[in-house]
């Protein structure tokens, strides 16, 4: 927690602050520590006030609000998803979020979350894979080599010990960028010419493509026994990545069923198709992987508790740090009910110094 400060000030983590925080921690250490927070909050699942995110869909994208609270802290994230954006130099996904104190309702932190979302998504994928992927998996196919991809690769390296990475993207320039960005880490990286080639010999398959349609990134014949699929890119109604037949052969694990039934790969299945909630595997209430031949699928859509965990982690990391800006966000009159008086005092001050308020 940052040192005591004026009530009007809310610590703000800019993109620059976030990058410095991640780099000074070490990206892989950051992912590991963040994964521990994500996992801890999955263990506290019952405590949370949970709701499927509130999505506003438009022709080319979606804007979503994602709230969650454990009774002591409250968090929400604003996030968009616009696959067409990269063509005009924008990101597909951008985000920011707030962490608040439930007792007073006062925000404790306002943070960029574009980078933090990529980190928390990768950390969550790795937490799920730790419980579901075949033991000793060393090779991962990574299909869709956009903004999320390097974070996924790093999380699977640091939390699961992945050594071999098989990349594929319909845009070879994206694969080349991903390969180059990861080249210093000692991973054995193969750039592939098709998704079929990428999945060859992979024990884990991550899909993180962006397309506003029901795509078929993986077809049934590409999935052998024993594989773990980490499906990240299908996260909206009408936006999926896997052929339905794969789902029918898989044991499916999800974050929060009311949200995943609408947004995840399982929107292709009957509303009562059996799925297992990830938190039950993490707490040991149910088994994850049961055999070497079982196909496990983490149908990831991204749930609000993961953003809560990410903001909680960043807030804890701020303790004693100056790596934030002081945002004058909350009106703080001398006497709490004299909000209008504060405006009058500002007006009186401006009469003496007209340059204070410019039209």
Ligand X SMILES: NC(=O)c1ccc[n+]([C@@H]2O[C@H](COP(=O)([O-])OP(=O)(O)OC[C@H]3O[C@@H](n4cnc5c(N)ncnc54)[C@H](O)[C@@H]3O)[C@@H](O)[C@H]2O)c1
Question: What SS3 class is residue 186?
Answer: coil
Residue placing its CB nearer to ligand X in the complex, 69 or 145: 145
The H or E element that residue 182 is part of is: helix 172-182
Q: Least distance (Å) from ligand X to the CB of residue 339?
A: 39
Query: Cβ closer to ligand X: 208 or 222?
Result: 208
- Beta carbon of residue 147, minimum distance to ligand X (angstroms, whole number): 4
Selected catalytic residue, list 169, 235, 299, 307: 235
Question: Cβ 144 to ligand X, closest distance in Å?
Answer: 4
Using CB under 6 A, list all residues that contact ligand X.
Answer: 81, 83, 86, 92-93, 117, 121, 143-148, 169-171, 174, 208-211, 215, 217, 232-233, 235, 300-302
Q: Is the dihedral of CA 131, 134, 140, 142 positive or negative?
A: negative
The number of beta carbons lying within 10 Å of the beta carbon of residue 48 is 19
Cα separation, 241 vs 104, in Å, equals 43
Instruction: Report the C-alpha gap between 157 and 269 in whole angstroms.
Output: 32
Looking at the Cβ atoms of 139 and 259, the one nearer to ligand X is: 259
- 101 part of the active site: no
Q: What is the DSSP string of 273-309?
A: ---EEHHHHHTTSS-S---SS-EEEEE----HHHHHH
Q: Residue 9 or residue 269: which is nearer to ligand X going by CB?
A: 269
Torsion of CA 3, 322, 94, 24, to 10 degrees: -130
Active site residues: 235
């Amino acid at each position: 927690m940052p040192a005591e400060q004026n009530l009007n000030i809310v610590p703000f983590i800019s993109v620059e602050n976030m990058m410095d925080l991640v780099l000074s921690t070490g990206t892989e250490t950051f992912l590991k520590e963040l994964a521990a927070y994500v996992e801890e909050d999955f263990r506290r699942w019952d405590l949370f006030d949970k709701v499927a995110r509130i999505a506003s869909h438009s022709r080319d994208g979606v804007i979503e609000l994602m709230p969650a609270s454990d009774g002591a802290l409250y968090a929400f994230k604003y996030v968009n998803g616009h696959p067409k954006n990269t063509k005009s130099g924008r990101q597909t996904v951008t985000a920011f979020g707030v962490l608040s104190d439930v007792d007073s309702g006062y925000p404790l932190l306002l943070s960029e979350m574009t980078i933090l979302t990529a980190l928390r998504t990768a950390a969550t994928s790795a937490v799920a894979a730790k419980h579901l992927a075949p033991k000793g998996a060393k090779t991962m196919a990574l299909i869709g080599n956009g903004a999320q991809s390097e974070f996924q690769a790093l999380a699977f390296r640091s939390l699961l010990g992945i050594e071999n990475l098989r990349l594929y993207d319909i845009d070879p320039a994206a694969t080349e960028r991903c390969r180059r960005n990861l080249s210093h880490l000692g991973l054995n990286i193969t750039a592939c010419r098709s998704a079929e080639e990428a999945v060859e010999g992979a024990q884990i398959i991550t899909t993180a493509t962006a397309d506003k349609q029901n795509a078929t990134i993986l077809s049934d014949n590409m999935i052998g026994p024993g594989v773990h699929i980490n499906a990240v890119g299908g996260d909206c109604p009408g936006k999926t990545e896997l052929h339905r037949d794969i789902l029918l052969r898989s044991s499916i694990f999800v974050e929060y069923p009311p949200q995943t039934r609408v947004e995840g790969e399982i929107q292709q299945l009957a509303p009562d198709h059996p799925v297992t909630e990830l938190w039950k595997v993490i707490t040991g209430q149910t088994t994850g992987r049961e055999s070497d031949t079982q196909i496990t699928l983490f149908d990831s859509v991204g749930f609000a508790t993961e953003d809560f965990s990410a903001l909680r982690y960043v807030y804890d990391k701020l303790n004693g740090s100056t790596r934030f800006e002081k945002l004058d966000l909350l009106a703080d009159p001398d006497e709490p009910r004299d909000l209008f008086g504060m405006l009058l005092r500002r007006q009186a001050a401006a009469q003496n110094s007209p340059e204070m308020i410019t039209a």
